[in-house]
């Protein structure tokens, strides 16, 4: 069983027990969160898609850490003007472990 959830404007395919990195969440490390925007649920051969979300489905997860992503180097350059700039950026992330997918009261966990 897996679900497609929306977190931070991005979509993630999650299964129970999986560890994913999403954009930084305001919750503290060790706290439990729920993703309410579930776009699709697949249970064996049964596929349920939402319009836009699937009603009655929640994905419960635990926040493991708040790391930062890999450094991305951005360079600016203007030809014939002696203008060069080099800037780095590290995206703040949250690492979460998916505990279970709750489908209309029935819990499917790892």
What DSSP string describes 13-81? EE-TT-EEEEEPPSSPTT-EEEE--EEEEEETTEEEE-SSS-TTEEEEEEEEE--B---EEEEEEETTT
Domain boundaries, the chain: 2-109
Rounded-to-integer distance, Cα 77 and Cα 90, Å: 21
pTM of the model: 0.82
Query: 19-69 pLDDT, tens per residue?
Result: 999 999 999 999 999 998 999 999 889 999 988 999 999 999 999 999 999
The pLDDT score that the predictor gives to residue 104 is 77
Confidence grade of residue 110 (pLDDT, cut at 50, 70, 90) = low
pLDDT value, residue 108: 66
């Amino acid at each position: 069983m897996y679900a497609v959830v929306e977190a931070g404007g991005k979509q993630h395919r999650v299964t129970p027990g999986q560890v994913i990195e999403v954009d930084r969440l305001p919750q503290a490390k060790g706290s439990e969160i729920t993703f309410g925007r579930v776009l699709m649920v697949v249970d064996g051969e049964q596929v349920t898609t939402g319009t836009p979300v699937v009603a009655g489905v929640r994905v419960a997860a635990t926040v493991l850490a708040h790391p930062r992503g890999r450094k991305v180097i951005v360079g600016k350059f203007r030809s014939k003007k002696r203008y060069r700039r080099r800037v780095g950026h590290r995206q703040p992330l949250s690492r979460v472990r998916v505990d279970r997918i709750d489908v209309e009261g029935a819990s499917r966990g790892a």
